[in-house]
Amino acid sequence: MTTGADAETPWHEVATLAQLDPDFPIGIEVQGQKIGLFLLGDAVHAIEDVCPHAYALLSQGFQEDGVIECPLHAARFDIASGKCLTEIGQRDLHCFPVRVQQGQVQLQLQRQAKDRA
């Protein structure tokens, strides 16, 4: 999804679409930022990968019905919006603009402001 993309900000190729699985996210690191890539339907989402509670990697968690559950203490987050769904998660996750071009998944590192209402 390219919502929040900035024409001035470079895109980073981080994976191929073929690497993504609708049931299993993958974790990547771009310029020191750990980011999780998720496939929901035919849309790719990129959200911060480190759980705000105690720093487990969410990409090693359990993905189901558009929600990622932290593998350590079961905080749950909405993948499309980054919204925190359980108190233990502490806060919403930052999302990153992402797009797919010729089978390559690309993202921008600036964080995306989303309506969390």
Instruction: Calculate the alpha carbon distances from 110 to 20, 40, 60, 87, 100 in Å.
Output: 22, 21, 23, 26, 17
Structure-token pair, residue 17? 């679409």
Q: Cα 74 from chain centroid?
A: 17
x/- letters, 75..114, toward ligand FES (CB under 6 A)? x------------x--------------------------
- Restricting to residues 13-42, name those near ligand FES by CB under 6 A: none
Give least dist CB 70 to ligand FES, A: 3
The answer to whether the CB of 73 falls within 8 A of the CB of 54 is: yes
Give least dist CB 69 to ligand FES, A: 9
- Give contact residues for ligand FES (rule: CB under 6 A): 51, 53-54, 56, 70, 72-73, 75, 88
